[in-house]
Every structure is written in C-alpha cells, then in structure tokens.
Amino acid sequence: MKIALSVLNALSLPAFVLDTEHKVVVWNAPCELLTGIPAKDVIGTRDHWRGFYDEPRPCMADLVLDSMLDEASRFYSRHEKTEFASDGHKAEGWFDEINGKRRYLSFEARPVFDENGIVGAIEVLQDITHHQEAEDQLKLSASVFENSLEGIIITDSDNRTISVNKALESLTGYGREEIIGRNPKLFASDRLSDSYYRKMWTTLNRVGHWQGEIWNRKKTGEEYLVRVHISAVKTGDDVTNYIGLLSDITESNQVMEKMEYMAHHDFLTGLPNRSLLEDRLRQALARAVRNKSRFAVMFIDLDKFKAVNDSLGHHVGDALLKEVTRRIQSCLRASDTISRQGGDEFVLLLEDIGDEVDITHTARKLLALIGGSCYLNGHVVTVTPSIGISLYPTDGVTVADLLSHSDAAMYHAKNQGRNNFQFFTERINAKALETLMVENGLRKAIPDGLLLHYQPQLCLVSKSVHGAEALVRWAHPDLGIIGPSRFISIAEESGLICQIGEWVLQEACRTMRSTGINMSVNLSPMQLTQSDIVAKVIEALDGMAGYRLTLEITESSFIHDFEKTKTTLLALKKIGVNLALDDFGTGYSSLSYLYQLPFDFLKIDQSFISEPKNTPIVLAILEMANKLNIMTVAEGVETPEQMAFLEANGCDVIQGYYFSRPLPLPDLTGFAKNPPYQVSAKPRIKKLAVEESNPMLAWSFTYETGHAGIDAQHKELLRMLNRLDSSTRSGQDESNSRKVMKALIDFVIDHFSFEEKLMHDRGYPYAQAHHSEHLNLVETLSSYDLQLKANAQVNPHQLTSSLHTWLMHHILDSDKKLGEFLSKQQVAPAQA
C-alpha cells in the first residue's frame, strides 16, 4: 500500500482512491494542490466531494463503485467510457469553485481489484482549463466570423480565397463554392482604374493594411459600394494570409449624395442655391482673371409674386416658380448658371460675354419669356421680372460686390416701374450708400432721436374725439424733422423696426395716460412675429384698460403665415385691445381674412379719399364693412365735402387735415384740455372676436379603403399631421417640432410595415410599385428630419401640407386599390 501511495504521490496528476465503503484511502499531493484540501482532512472520510462541489453528490469513482454508470448522465453532460479500459469511465466539465478558481477538469475513474475482487476505485483528474478556454475562444471566433454582419474573406499569400462567411455570400450573390480558390477580383466592377488598385496594393505591402471604398459588382451585375479594410497576416517577415472586411455602404452613400445635393440646391426647383452660386462665382472670377475675359451677374425678382401666393395658394406659386425656372433655362447656354436665392429671387451667371449689347439682348428675351402668361392648375397667371445687371470687371472684382451691385440695380428697376432691366451705375450705388447711411444714423437715433406726433380722430357717429394716431418722427441733428416715409422701409429691411415699434408703443401709452386721449399705434409685421408681443403690450398699458388702445396692422402682416398671425391677434383681443386693418385695398386684399380675423376697425387709405373717381370703391368698402360689423376709419380727409360724403354714407371715424394735423406732444396736451368735441372715454366698436378651431386636415369617407385596419391607421396619421401643423403654427420651440416629426416618422414606418406584410402575405401583384411610394416618403421625411436637426431653414407647415397632399393621392390611387384586392381575398381586417 505504501508503494502504491508513493506512486500516486509521484504522479503529476491529481488522484484519489476510495474503498468499498466510499471512504478516502488515498488523496495524493497534486490533489491537495488542486483542491486546497489537505489529505489528513479527508482520509478515512466520505467528504471527498468537498474538493469539487458545494453540496454532497457522487463523484465518478462513487458511480464506478456502485456500478451506477448508466446514471452518469444525471450528473455529467459530457461522459463516456475510457478508450483503453472497458471498466473505466471518463467525463469533463466546468467547476465554478475549485480552490477559489473556476476550472475545467477532465477525470477518469475505474475500479481497483485484488485477488478477491473489487477493493475500491481510483479517480484521476486533469486541469485542462487553458486548453478549454482556447477551444472556446476558437469556437467564438468561428461563430463571430460566420455570423458577422460584415462580409469577411480570407485569402492565402497568392490572394486565392480560402474562406468566406455567410455575409460575404449574401453581399456578393456568389456561393461559397464559387468563391473558394478564386481571386477576389471576381467581384470587381469597371468603375475604378487599375492605378487605384496598384496604389491599394502598394499601401498594403508597405504598412500591412489598407482601408478605403471600392465599387464592386454582384453576381446579378448590380454595382454596389463597399467600405473595405484589408490586413496582411505575417509569420515573421512572410505574408501568409490576407483578411478583408467588407461593409455595404451603397445606401448611406446615396443618402450622403442626396444630402450634399440638398445642401447646395434649391429644394423646389433643383437649381443651385446661394452657397453653390458663390462657389461658381469664385471659379468664374479665377477664369476671368486668367483669360482676361468678362462675365455678367443678373439679379431677377418677380414682381408681385406674393399676390399669386396669397390669392391662388402656395401650390400655384410653387408651380409658377418651376415654370419660370424652365423659361429662364430655355434662353441660357449650358455653361451659364441659374440659381434660386429663395422666395422669388433668381441670380444668373453668364460667362464669356461680348459687350453690353449681348447682355441687353439676353435681358430682353428674359423679360419677354418670364412675362408671358402661364397656365397653372386651371389658372392663367402672369408675373413680370425686374432685372439688375452687374458686369465684371466694370462693376466689381469680388463676389460680394458683384452680387450687391446687381441687387441694387434690380431695386432700381423696381423703382422705375418694374418689368424692366437696369445696369448698375454709380448713381444707383450712391442711393444704396445713402440707404446705408440712413440705417447707421437711425441706429444711433433710437430712442433719444425719435419723437411722436399725434393726429386726432373724429367719431362721426357720436360727434366726439375718438382718439389719436401716434406717428413717429426722426429728429435728425442736421436735417431736422424727418417723416416716416424716409426711414420706415429701411428700418423694416434692417430689423430696426422692432426697436422703434416698441418705443412708439411705450411712449404712446404714456401719452394716453397723461392726456386721457385714446391711442392708435402701428404694429409692424416683424413685431407681430415676436413671441412676447402680447406681454409687451400688457407692459405698455401698465394697468390701463385695453380698450383704450388700438393696434393697427397692414395686410402684409398675415399673408405669409396666416394661422400664426390669427393666433397672435386673438391673444391680443383677449387682453382687450382693439385691432385695425390699415391701408385696406392698397395691398393684397383677401376678403376671407376680414371674416376670419378679429378686426374692430378697417382703415380706408387716403388715396381712395382724395380721388373722386374712387368714390365707388369707397362706397363698396363702407357697405362691406357695415355688413361685417367692422367700424371704418377714413384717412386723409382734407375738405368738408369729403367729410360730409363719408358721414352720409356711414363712415364711423375720420382723420386728416380737415379735423387736425398731426400734433407734437405739447400741442396735443393743449388739444386735450380744450377739445373741439367731447373726448370719448371708450372707443366705439361693433365686432367681438370669436376664436374658431379649424384643424388643417380632416378625414373623409371618400378616403376609406374597405380595410378597417388600414383606415384606422390613416386616421391616426392625419391626427399626427394635425399635431405637427399645430405645433408649428402655435410657435412651439423647434425641439418639440422635432419630437413630433420623429414620432410621425416612426408611425409612418410602422404603418408601411403593416401594409407591406398584408401585401406579402396575400401575394398583392402591385406590391413593388406600392413599396416604392412608401420608400420615397420615408426618405423625404428623414431628409426633413435631418434638416431640422441641422437647424436648416425648413417650413414644417409647408411640409405638412405637402404630406397631406401626398397621403391623399396615395390613399386614393394606391391604398384603395389594395383595399379592393384584400376584400376580394376576404382578408379579415386587423386591428390598428
């Protein structure tokens, strides 16, 4: 026995021996090292299990002793008989806690005999943790290789393929057996030159790796773009293999190309935008300097284009811009550039020109072509252009100068009556410089250089002083008192009008408090767009009753964003102020606005009052205002005959030189102390504001497809479009609009997945065309979302309108056809 114990201790492998009573008789030194349990603690006990398990259970030697090897599967997932002993059994597995470590052990057990039979059992163990970890790592690597989303190809040193994964098969369309043994140039397309590949191999051989983009061709012939990373595997200095990783980036490349195009082109017309135009102008300058040539810049603005948008709608305006683009392109050379700057402005770059006669000929052709009638959506539309022209090098040698000078010449063309062209001259430049000087002087004059004059108003109904209109003046240190006609337009273009308007509002309200005379104050369109305009009016009133203040706005304030303006005006009405529509009939009048907006007063422009030939117009305005319960105020009343005519025909209020000239504050104070008529404490008004709820989009029974699930999702989509439209019109911040946009995109994708599953399951014959329509909309939505994220200039209200149009066409043209097909197939409607 001592010899046997010595032999077991001499072994390098852990081992222990049990007697027939399952008591430990031998626990060799390697077993002590493996388990951390000294032999003296287990010899003579049945606690040998403690070396391997947390609770009592049989070891392999126990199973051998009890001849229970048939039940080994209860305890070991991997077990079998030993190769060289029929009475032995072996197993292997992970042990979580062997002397403080996680180990992978293999172990064999067999009975021990003497001349009388079985006297015990021996179990020999081997720690093969490192071997198993390496094997697991190899399996993991193989799994990663086979299941990677990237295509992987491995070649030998001669670039012959020896292995590929499933992703590469899917990417290329070739089967594994078609690729193995062949050169990867099997996948190459004809897009890249041989020099491109030579440079690739030069880099790969020099630094051991290369990455870049390659155009490949699938087995079907379809070309695709992959991002490739190739690494050389070396043993010593010799290359043994090459490993290539390929990722299909065709779609992302198309998106990037589309985004790049959108960044430099106008969304509506596809023309170069200002950024791309300036780049081409810089290139043209470089060529002109090098070749000593000339070129021209034409700035085109469409006359009264806003009237088209206002009266016929933006869809007609958009169609008109596209038609104008087509007409301009028809009379230019292929080498010329036409750019849309936004709105109704175009800039043309004409290179390698002759003399001014050639430019004049082109300008006249443009006037004739653009000015011709257009037939759009059942309407006959006519607009005319105003064109400004600057020449290189005569009118400037920089991009900025040439653009600004052509712009100045265009404005001169407008001042000359529109529908003409003008070359830039120094006189025009002098006018532009004067405008700049006025703007700079005005900045310094706010607010100390400004003052107010007040023109009293007479109520013809109550024979009382209705109030006074506050009119701003500029007290110039050298030129004296300057009227608003000289500087208001410049203030609007420069953005100073908001500062001026806020000062006028505050000052007029202070005067109203000190004199007791009610006030009318003009609000500019820019002031109405301010989110805090209501708060500023409340602050100016400083506790005074809102009805004592009338705010005058012009029609241009609401033709761009009617819904937002309506919301602002209704909010102003809620604090009690009166609202007047100023200069009615001189702008882009739309009678529907009068009914929808909460105006208390309609001001008849003095141009109608001063000319007797306009009497029918005045009578029509008075009659219409009376029917709408809106008070009328006639401006520019200078004679008793005019006042008598207005009074006899139902005009409510007049102002003009006949009653009073505009008065400086001291004179108004005297007027208030001794008025010619009683001063009205509260202006007389007729109309009350009633806010209406009018969602942009509504469901119609004509949109029903016959499939309840599809119809329910269409209704939800309309609700989300209304929510997006509402968030933009209510002035909510851009982050909220993006959240709504993101939710809309997610819902659209889910809805399209729902429809496409139906089409797939039922074998819909027009599924491909239907899918293409879905894909186009998702790409458009994603494009808008990216622009919003980049803070690009996006009009979400216009987006919701176009989405509604798309959806209605899609439902009526495609979804109803799908619904009819599903009905014939007797598909049970799914729940949305």
CA distance 219 to 196: 22
Asked if the model's pLDDT at residue 264 lies above 50, the reply is: yes
Least confident range of 127-131, 247-251, 683-687 = 683-687
pLDDT category of residue 398 using cuts at 50, 70 and 90: very high
> Residues with Cβ < 8 Å from 556, sequence gap 6 or more?
525, 587, 588
What pLDDT is attached to residue 5? 64
Cut 0.75: pTM above it: no
Mean pLDDT of 152-171: 89
Least confident range of 74-83, 122-131, 270-279, 781-790 = 74-83
Cβ atoms of 499 and 559 within 8 Å: the answer is no
Mean pLDDT of 86-113: 84
Tokens matching residue 765: 């014959």
pLDDT category of residue 84 using cuts at 50, 70 and 90: very low
Q: Which residue has the tokens 């005569």?
A: 394
What pLDDT is attached to residue 76? 75
What pLDDT is attached to residue 803? 74
Per-residue CA distances from 582 to 449, 524, 555, 651 (Å): 26, 11, 7, 15
Asked if the model's pLDDT at residue 828 lies above 50, the reply is: no
Cβ atoms of 504 and 452 within 8 Å: the answer is yes
Encode pLDDT of 210-228 as tens digits: 988 899 999 999 988 888 8
Asked if the model's pLDDT at residue 688 lies above 60, the reply is: no
Beta bridge partners of 551: 521, 579
Mean pLDDT of 358-380: 88
Mean pLDDT of 758-775: 86
Which has the higher per-residue pLDDT, 531 or 480?
531
The candidate with the shortest Cα–Cα distance to 420, out of 459, 467, 388, 395, is 388
What pLDDT is attached to residue 505? 94
What pLDDT is attached to residue 690? 37
pLDDT category of residue 448 using cuts at 50, 70 and 90: confident
Per-residue CA distances from 104 to 80, 223, 246, 346 (Å): 17, 50, 37, 78
Which has the higher per-residue pLDDT, 432 or 391?
391
Asked if the model's pLDDT at residue 142 lies above 80, the reply is: no
At 552, phi and psi to the nearest 5? Answer: -105, 130
Asked if the model's pLDDT at residue 794 lies above 80, the reply is: no
What pLDDT is attached to residue 280? 93
What pLDDT is attached to residue 831? 45
What pLDDT is attached to residue 350? 94
Mean pLDDT of 429-442: 68
Mean pLDDT of 499-516: 92
What pLDDT is attached to residue 386? 94
Asked if the model's pLDDT at residue 237 lies above 60, the reply is: yes
Q: What is the DSSP string of 187-231?
A: GB-SSS-HHHHHHHHHHHHHHSEEEEEEEEE-TTS-EEEEEEEEE
3-state secondary structure 779-827: HHHHHHHHHHHCCCCCCHHHHHHHHHHHHHHHHHHHHHHHHHHHHHCCC
CA distance 244 to 238: 18
Q: Which residue has the tokens 């800039």?
A: 347
Tokens matching residue 340: 């849309």
Mean pLDDT of 349-376: 87
Asked if the model's pLDDT at residue 411 lies above 70, the reply is: yes
* Average pLDDT, rounded, for the chain: 84
Least confident range of 331-340, 391-400, 418-427 = 418-427
Per-residue CA distances from 568 to 528, 547, 564, 565 (Å): 7, 17, 6, 5
Asked if the model's pLDDT at residue 785 lies above 90, the reply is: no
Mean pLDDT of 325-331: 92
CA atoms within 13 A on the CB side of 306: 12
Tokens matching residue 594: 């009068």
Asked if the model's pLDDT at residue 830 lies above 60, the reply is: no
Cβ atoms of 524 and 490 within 8 Å: the answer is no
Least confident range of 107-121, 654-668, 739-753 = 739-753
